[in-house]
Structures are given as C-alpha cells and as structure tokens.
Amino acid sequence: MFLDTQPAALAASGGIDPYAEFRLSQPREIAAMLKQLVTDATPVMLSGPDAVGLTTVIWTIDTAQQRINFSADARSPQLQRLIELEEATCVAYLDAVKLQFDADHLMLVQGSESCSLQADLPREMYRFQRRRSFRVRTLGRGSPTALLRHPSMPEMELALRVLDVSIGGCALMLPADVPPLSAGSEIRGVRIELDPDTRFDADLQLHHVTAIQNPSRGCRLGCEFMHVQPPAQRALQRYIDQTQKRRRLLSLD
C-alpha cells in the first residue's frame, strides 16, 4: 500500500484528508502505540519536507511536558538539517502495521554524556495496514463467527466460522450440510463477530469456493469486505495486530 519508509500523502487538494478513517486522535491510543515503539526499540524514520531522512528510535515519552525524545547523534548532518527545518514526519512499523505522525518543534537537547532530539508529543497518528493481503488465522477462543442469511435462501440463517481475516476480507467455513454458495455472489447484511471488542456489519463479495481436504468437511469461502465503516476498519486492524502478537507468544511457549 505504501513504500516502506515513504510517508503517505495525507492531504489532498482542498485540505481533504483521504486517510481520515485511519487517524487516531485519542491520547490513550496514541500513547499505547508510542509505548510499544519504545518497548520494542522499533526503528523510526524521520523525514523532512525536502526528503532528508534520519533513522533513529524513540528514547522516552514525557507526558507531563508533552514531549517525545528520539535518540540522536549530534554529529549527524541529517540531524542538523532536521533541526533547521524544525519539523519532520515520523514513520515506523509494528509488525504489519504502519504508523505515521508529525514531529513538530524539533530541538536538540544535549547532556553531559548523551543528547536527544525532542519534539512535541503528537496529537494525531495514522495507523495503516502495511499489506492489504496480510491475513491472520483467528484464535479458537470466542469462536469468531459471521452471521448471515443464505443469499439464495433468505429464510435460512447461518452462523459460519471465520477461519482467517485481513483488513480486506475473510475466509469462512461452509459446512457440508449447508446448500452451496456460488463464487461471484454478494452477501448483504453480514454481522462479523471476532471477539467482544470487534463486531461490525459488512457486505461480502464471494470470490473463491474451495473444498477443505475431504469434500465431506465442507468448503472454504474466500470473501472480500465491502461497505465497512471507518470505526470498524480501525477495530479490525487492532484485532489483526493483537491476534498476530498472541500467536507469536503462543509459539514461544
């Protein structure tokens, strides 16, 4: 969706933000993202308006002074240029999620043994899914489910297991004893329930129907999400991120 370290162009002509649905403005959400960057010592790229770039890490977050501190080398020519500009765009990745925010009022703070690059604590942050096709297998807990009516038999209500999910779609398990669905079908008014915090409505475009191992076990339905509202998109991104983290932790046990 975006180049690895290239900031997204967030403003179009007329001041319209084409990515407004991905904007975080709640202080707690922003603080959580920044804290994760600090904990993981995640590399971040600071880019200026004239494309000058500097790779660093977030050192500390000072919520009392509303400032953020980046690790810095006072001898770096890129650092000196950013200080002259007094502003930069910060891009970092948490797994498959791209974070972007402005770092304003840049200032070099030098101590007896080290120095840091300070900026205002961001009041807004953008959170993009790095790859639209990135999928995670749902966890068994909570039985992630899609509630819908059979498109050719509206009187039949179905609760299908969600096998995996991405920001753009999901795979559903269709049991063998349910009348088949055809590729190309559009399924309207679907309720997706992944966990207690991730429930939303969407329409589905059915692209693929694949038998699972033995045909008697049913079919896998490859679906694209349609007409998902911005709050639901953000909740879905959080679900994908958290599910990936849980699976990584389980693999370490």
Higher pLDDT, 145 or 76: 145
* Same domain flag for 116 and 49: yes
Residues 140 and 242 in one domain: yes
- Given a cut of 80, whether residue 33 has pLDDT beyond it is yes
Has residue 121 been placed in a domain?
yes
Task: State the Cα–Cα distance between residues 176 and 15, nearest whole angstrom.
Answer: 52
Could you say which of 105, 129, 153 is where a domain stops? 129
Output 52 or 201, whichever has higher pLDDT.
Answer: 201
CA-CA distances (angstroms) from residue 197 to 19, 144, 194? 23, 12, 8
Tokens of 185: 């079908």
Question: Does residue 2 form part of some domain?
Answer: no
pLDDT given at position 52: 63
Q: Is the pLDDT of residue 16 over 80?
A: no
82 and 160 both lie in a single domain: no
Indicate whether this model's pTM tops 0.85: no
Residue 146, in any domain of the structure: yes
CA pair distance 90, 196, nearest whole angstrom = 32
In a domain, 8, yes or no: no
Full domain range(s) for residue 106? 13-129
- Are 186 and 172 within one domain? yes
Which of these three, 98, 129, 160, is where a domain ends? 129
Same domain, 92 and 155: no
Looking at the structure, do residues 117 and 223 belong to the same domain, yes or no?
no
pLDDT above 80 (res 59): yes
What's the mean per-residue pLDDT of the chain? 82
pLDDT of 169-211, one tens digit each? 998 999 989 998 988 899 999 999 999 889 999 999 998 887 6
Label residue 53 exposed, middle or buried (CB < 10 Å: 0-12, 13-18, 19+). Answer: middle
Do residues 100 and 157 both lie within one domain? no
In the structure, what pLDDT confidence band is assigned to residue 13 with cuts at 50, 70 and 90? very low
Summarize pLDDT for 129-174 with one digit per residue, the tens: 655 556 677 765 568 999 999 998 999 999 999 988 988 899 899 9
Residues 139 and 102 in one domain: no
**For 246, phi and psi rounded to 5 degrees?**
-65, -40
Cα 182 to Cα 67: distance, rounded to the nearest angstrom: 55
In a domain, 186, yes or no: yes
pLDDT of residue 225: 94
Same domain, yes or no: 84 and 106: yes
Instruction: Quote the percentage of the chain above a pLDDT of 90.
Output: 32
Please check whether residue 19 lies inside any domain of the structure: yes
Domain with residue 237: its CATH number is 2.40.10.220
Q: Looking at the structure, do residues 139 and 172 belong to the same domain, yes or no?
A: yes
224: confidence class by pLDDT, cuts 50, 70, 90: very high
240 with 129: CB under 8 angstroms? yes
Boundary (domain end) residue, out of 82, 112, 129: 129
User: CATH number for the domain including 90?
Assistant: 2.30.110.10
Q: How many domains does the chain have?
A: 2
> Averaged over 97-106, what is the pLDDT?
90
* Residues 185 and 229 grouped into a single domain: yes
Residue 68 has pLDDT above 90, yes or no: yes
In this structure, is residue 209 part of a structural domain?
A: yes
Do 71 and 152 belong together in one domain? no
